[in-house]
Chains A and B, each alone.
Chain A
């Protein structure tokens, strides 16, 4: 097999993994701090993509439109998340997990119908900015510039999350609250607002993922379903609530898919799922330490 083909597929697989990482990092963050399995996470990702489309269209699908969309779409999703958390979710933390899953599942259905009401059922598309349009030739293979951009953004988000949870007061409190929320409350810290902040950050990552994926795909209803299944799998194999686990899980998922394509194209669909099964057989609690 051509080694340059392997390298180029490794690169595009990693680029795909970066979007999966950004979305599943948000999911795992919420899962770790709030203990809420947010089934509506995929819907927020979809809203991020649709909002990115609306903003990009407002700027005539220009390069500037894309950059504004990339910044504003996560903020819009964050605002939606804040309303959901303060208005609904914050009253439900004492309930058992099944109730929380039911609640977020209901939320998913509502959000999906709202997307259909607002944007309709047609497919939408966002034009990538000029600087990221087209492909560059590396090792004799065409790699989309946008994939290289994703390879740059992914690690940036990973470092940002690491900084947030290890170097800031909010992050430290959030980590402490995920271990023992009552004790943190006893120390005089307003846990309620820490949870709100964690939920908003997690959801904003879904929005960012949606905005980032917008130029590479057709934005349509149902795009939430694929991503929510994949990110739950990634979160599970990475270890619940573990951001680094999400990173490793995403890379395993993305790279196994792209390399599987090179060697066994007819079985490519099953490849990432086979990896998930193998990981869970060997390490049923996930690759890295779970926060639960």
Chain B
């Protein structure tokens, strides 16, 4: 008996000791389940029984279900998005929407498509959410998307970037407030097409987003500059700790330039290894999101300079009053500048609020009609939800990594802004893909 107590005691002591030895409280411990809601468990069915559009108020709060990644490496994105969403809600709920508030519940999908799907099912069937949003993993987003279509519940993807989400696998009930791989790939391809390189190597992480961004960049580049050739491809599994052998093999092939297709922690790994091997001094590199703050910040001065990247949000660019106000509000609330997930989630919240105001009723079909073609003012300027494919139209920024005396980490320099409509596939192209 005393042994059991001893074991229990040691377990407690171990926990306490580990917590005490760094003393740092969790900066943004994510809720793993349903915070901040007190909605009655038996909320009435909406959609069909909602009041007619003429009565522009409802007594029930709008309920948003968030399925996102709050554990493992992508949790950094999930937390950032949640903070951005909360910040927007604090602004929106001051005046309210349709006479009530927007509330939310969160679920952790652990970066797994099957978990994401069961969480989405729970939120739709048990929690009866009006709108579903999230997540990081493109495969998870696609899984939720097809269930949302079946259940006729609007689903807004806010971090995942695979173009299939609003492209080949798009439908009436899915939206994306994130720039997608088609847009990023075309922006990158246009920048690369102006350079003299012809022999390319493509390398990246073997998952949905990696292949999507690589294909988009390559197909666009091939179309813009037909004489480019692909010397080879290398793919590694996500979370591969040491990329030195991979990059050594690529250097042995002596390509003119390399397109890397990685995301998240894999980005940091590629940049770090490229710097350590002197690869970035010898061979030009393009990586979508190479200039992202969440990638460059952990590396400090250890990142390679001169890597070409594209991004749809930078907290230091554009230097407009709107962006500065957003950054300041976020920084005051959460102690760090916002990343791109916070920007997307902030916009998503405003899209939801504006669409319900425009619809005038808590009705899912009317919400979707209202979302189509809706324009809102984002921190980087006016952005639009394209009516034909439900993909957000927003500017992209291209730049190269460079040391910046203002910060302890590198930032993008020589930034060029590209209009969203110039890099998006046309409505006809998207609809053709959907019909195939």
Chain A interface residues toward B at CB < 8 A: 2, 5, 8-9, 12-13, 15-16, 19, 54, 61, 80, 83-84, 86-88, 91, 110, 114, 116-125, 127-128, 133-135, 141-144, 146-147, 213, 216-218, 220-223, 225-227, 254, 257-258, 261-262, 265-266, 268-269
Choose from A8, A118, A144, A227 the contact partner of B22 (Cβ within 8 Å): A118
Give Cα A88 to B242, complex, Å: 34
Residues of chain B within 8 A of A54, CB atoms compared: 22
**Which of B26-34, B86-94, B173-181, B372-380 is near enough to bind chain A?**
B26-34
Tell me, yes or no, whether B234 is within 8 Å of chain A by CB.
Answer: yes
Q: Is B224 at the interface (CB under 8 A from chain A)?
A: no
Tell me the complex Cα distance, A269–B205, Å. Answer: 10
- The answer on a CB contact under 8 Å between B299 and A125 is yes
CB of A230 to closest CB in B, whole Å = 9
Instruction: Please give the distance in Å from B154's CB to the nearest CB on chain A.
Output: 28
B195 CB-CB contact with A under 8 Å: no
Asked if A144 and B300 make an inter-chain contact with CB atoms under 8 angstroms apart, the answer reads no
Give bound CA distance, A144 to B3, whole Å.
51
A218 contacts B298, CB within 8 Å?
yes
What's the minimum C-beta distance from B68 to chain A, rounded to whole angstroms?
12
Q: How far is the CB of B367 from chain A (nearest CB, A)?
A: 32
Q: Assess whether B10 is in contact with A88, with CB atoms less than 8 Å apart.
A: yes
Once A16-B242, A114-B19 are accepted as A-B contacts, the answer to whether A266 and B233 lie under 8 Å apart by CB is: yes
Q: Does B11 contact A (CB under 8 A)?
A: yes
Can you offer 19 A-B residue contacts whose CB atoms are under 8 A?
A5-B248, A5-B249, A8-B248, A87-B11, A91-B6, A114-B19, A119-B24, A122-B298, A128-B276, A142-B248, A142-B251, A142-B278, A144-B244, A221-B73, A226-B239, A226-B240, A258-B248, A266-B232, A268-B246
Closest partner residue, chain A, to B302 (CB atom):
A127
A16 B18 Cβ-Cβ under 8 A = no
What's the minimum C-beta distance from A244 to chain B, rounded to whole angstroms? 23
Q: Chain A residues near B27 (CB, 8 Å)?
A: 120
Q: Tell me, rounded to whole Å, the shortest Cβ–Cβ distance linking B75 to chain A.
A: 3
Tell me what chain A mostly uses at the interface: helix, strand, loop, or mixed: helix
Report the number of A-B residue pairs with Cβ-Cβ less than 8 Å.
Answer: 183
Residue of A with least CB distance to B4? A91
Q: Determine whether B323 belongs to the interface, using a CB cutoff of 8 Å to chain A.
A: no
Question: Chain A interface: which of B142-150, B156-164, B265-273, B415-423?
Answer: B265-273
Contact A121-B18, Cβ < 8 Å, known A86-B10, A220-B265, A266-B235: no
- How many interface residues does B have (CB within 8 Å)? 62
In the complex, what distance in Å separates the CA atom of A141 from the CA atom of B278?
10
- With most chain B CB atoms within 10 A of its CB, the pick from A120, A220, A222 is A220
Is the beta-carbon distance between A121 and B244 smaller than 8 angstroms?
A: no
A217 pairs with B241, CB closer than 8 A: yes
> Which residues does chain A contribute within 8 Å of B242, judged by CB atoms?
15-16, 19, 213, 216-217
In the complex, chain B residues 272-322 whose Cβ is within 8 Å of any chain A Cβ: 272-273, 276-279, 282, 294, 298-302
Q: Quick check: A88 and B268 within 8 Å, CB to CB?
A: no
| Distance in angstroms between the alpha carbons of A220 and B298 in the assembled complex | 11
User: Of A80, A87, A144, A216, which one neighbours B7 at CB under 8 angstroms?
Assistant: A87
Q: Is the CB of B298 within 8 A of A124?
A: yes
Within 8 A of A (CB), among B77-104: 78-79
Indicate if the CB atoms of B244 and A87 lie closer than 8 Å. Answer: no
Looking at chain B's contact residues, is the secondary structure mostly helix, strand, loop, or mixed?
A: helix
Smallest CB-CB separation from B14: which chain A residue? A83
Question: Given A83-B13, A142-B278, A269-B236, A261–B249 Cβ distance below 8 Å?
Answer: yes
Q: Given the complex of chains A and B, what is the CA–CA distance between A119 and B28 in angstroms?
A: 10
In the bound complex, residues from chain A placing their C-beta under 8 Å from that of B273 are 144, 216
Give Cα A184–Cα B30 distance, bound, in whole angstroms: 50
B72 cross-chain contacts in A, Cβ below 8 A? 121, 221-222
A266 lies within 8 A of B244 (CB): no
The contact string, 1 if C-beta is below 8 Å from chain A, for chain B 241-270, is: 110111011011000000000001100110
Q: Contact partner of B252 among A119, A128, A141, A147, CB < 8 A?
A: A141
Check A213 against B241 for contact (C-beta < 8 Å). yes
* Chain A residue with the shortest CB-CB distance to B237: A269
**9 A-B pairs closest in CB distance:** A87-B10, A121-B75, A258-B245, A218-B268, A5-B252, A261-B249, A220-B73, A144-B276, A265-B234
- Do A216 and B15 have beta carbons less than 8 Å apart? no
A117 touches B244 (CB 8 A): no
Instruction: Decide: B28 and A120 in contact? CB cutoff 8 A.
Output: yes
B76 on interface, CB distance cutoff 8 Å: yes
Closest to B301 in A: A127
A262 touches B252 (CB 8 A): yes
- Determine the chain A residues whose CB is within 8 A of the CB of B79 once the complex forms: 121
- Measured between alpha carbons, how far is A91 from B27 in the docked complex, in Å? 36
Residue of B nearest to A110 (CB): B15
User: Which of A9, A117, A217, A223 has most chain B Cβ within 10 Å?
Assistant: A217
Determine the distance from Cα of A133 to Cα of B302 in the docked complex, in whole angstroms.
10
- Asked whether, in the complex, the Cβ of A269 is within 8 Å of the Cβ of B276, the reply is no
When the two chains form the complex, which single residue of A84, A134, A225, A265 contacts B239, counting CB atoms closer than 8 Å?
A225
Bound together, the chains give a CA A262 to CA B236 distance in angstroms of: 13
Nearest-CB residue, chain A, relative to B201: A265
Given A15-B244, A125-B299, A217-B272, 16 more A-B residue pairs with CB atoms under 8 Å apart are A9-B252, A91-B6, A116-B26, A117-B26, A121-B28, A121-B71, A123-B73, A123-B264, A142-B279, A144-B273, A144-B277, A216-B241, A221-B73, A223-B241, A265-B249, A266-B233
Rounded to whole Å, the gap between the CB of B252 and the closest CB of chain A is 4
